[in-house]
């Protein structure tokens, strides 16, 4: 997205090939797991991992067409392709579930539908909006850095469920998952909306971007406080209607909703990403992930689900402070005029 927004559309094909090459390692890892379970006489997981191995290098890689569309600011087309993909993929999965309960066919329907749809829209995008030949030699290297710094974040994003399952069992994990799901969905929607700003940030110099961030942060913060209050008001009624079985999760759901207010911090991160501030991004990802893992390991055994919720909220608050500090630090280096 960052490269295309600056006119370096020729970086698209090399990026696609790089994603597929690295995706082959994921496929190989899945095959190794399939082999392991074969020798453990677990035929179910052997076949499941074999199916995933065939699609892993391509399913997410083909989805890179969306980066080209977003970099070109073709947000309407990006949204249209996304909606069509969701409808067809979900419909194919539901149709498969009606026909069979066979796990392997369900897995195949999921992987095959998404891979095929992304491949089709990749071909359509390249035909309708062929990229130019201009390449940014730093794009692939920068992409690898972004992927590397997200590895520990991927671990941190799952360790809460692992710890809860270990100490409390699957029932409590279900309550916890229901509690954090609505705020997480709201966060995801708001963050995806914020990504529309990335091409604009990438095209402008850092001084101009910084001037606009403060106003955007102020406006979005007031808006999200309003959304948070509405969410608290509606959640009681909607939760009792749709999730009466998980009534214990309501308190945790409302408590975790505090993270909605902190979503504007994504603007600081988008600034750092658009300006290729690798050092600052490494520091941010490492600090927040380590603190999150540490808090979860300490608090989950003592306070169970409440400990996990508190860990996530506290990490979000600290990450806001960290990202603002790094934003301010990078601004001082560039000598901006606020």
More confident residue, 316 or 333: 316
- Tell me which residue has tokens 């991004």: 281
Contact between residue 235 and residue 185 where contact means Cβ atoms under 8 Å apart: no
User: What is the per-residue pLDDT for 185?
Assistant: 84
Within 8 A by CB and 6+ apart from 170, the residues are none
User: What is the per-residue pLDDT for 336?
Assistant: 46
Pull the structure tokens for residue 165: 């399952």
Question: pLDDT class for 60, splitting at 50, 70, 90?
Answer: very high
Contact between residue 184 and residue 231 where contact means Cβ atoms under 8 Å apart: no
**H/E element holding 73?**
none
User: What is the per-residue pLDDT for 335?
Assistant: 54
Q: What is the mean pLDDT of the chain?
A: 89
Pick the range with the lowest mean pLDDT from 7-16, 21-30, 153-162: 153-162
Q: What does R_g of the chain's alpha carbons equal in angstroms? A: 22
Q: E-assigned strands of the chain?
A: none
User: What is the per-residue pLDDT for 292?
Assistant: 94
């Amino acid at each position: 997205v960052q490269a295309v927004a600056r006119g370096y559309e020729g970086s698209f094909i090399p990026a696609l090939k790089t994603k597929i090459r690295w995706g082959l390692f994921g496929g190989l890892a899945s095959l190794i797991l399939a082999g392991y379970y074969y020798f453990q006489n677990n035929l179910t997981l052997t076949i499941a991992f074999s199916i995933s191995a065939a699609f892993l290098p391509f399913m997410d890689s083909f989805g890179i067409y969306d980066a080209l569309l977003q970099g070109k600011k073709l947000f309407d087309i990006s949204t249209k392709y996304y909606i069509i993909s969701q409808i067809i993929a979900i419909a194919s999965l539901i149709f498969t579930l009606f026909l069979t309960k066979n796990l392997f066919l369900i897995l195949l329907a999921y992987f095959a539908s998404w891979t095929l749809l992304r491949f089709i829209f990749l071909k359509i995008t390249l035909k309708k909006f062929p990229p130019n030949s201009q390449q940014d030699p730093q794009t692939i290297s920068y992409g690898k850095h972004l992927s590397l710094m997200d590895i520990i974040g991927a671990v941190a994003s799952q360790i809460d469920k692992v710890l809860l399952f270990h100490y409390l069992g699957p029932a409590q994990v279900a309550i916890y998952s229901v509690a954090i799901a609505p705020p997480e969905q709201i966060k995801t929607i708001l963050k995806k909306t914020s990504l529309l700003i990335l091409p604009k940030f990438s095209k402008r110099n850092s001084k101009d971007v910084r001037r606009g961030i403060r106003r955007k942060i102020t406006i979005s913060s007031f808006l999200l406080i309003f959304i948070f209050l509405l969410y608290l008001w509606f959640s009681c009624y909607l939760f009792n209607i749709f999730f009466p079985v998980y009534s214990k999760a309501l308190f945790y759901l409302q408590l975790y909703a505090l993270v909605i207010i902190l979503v504007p911090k994504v603007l600081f991160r988008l600034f750092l990403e658009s300006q290729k501030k690798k050092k600052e991004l490494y520091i941010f990802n490492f600090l927040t992930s380590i603190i999150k893992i540490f808090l979860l390991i300490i608090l989950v055994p003592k306070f169970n689900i409440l400990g996990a919720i508190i860990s996530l909220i506290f990490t979000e608050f600290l990450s806001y402070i960290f990202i603002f500090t790094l934003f301010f630090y990078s601004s001082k280096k560039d000598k901006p005029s606020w």
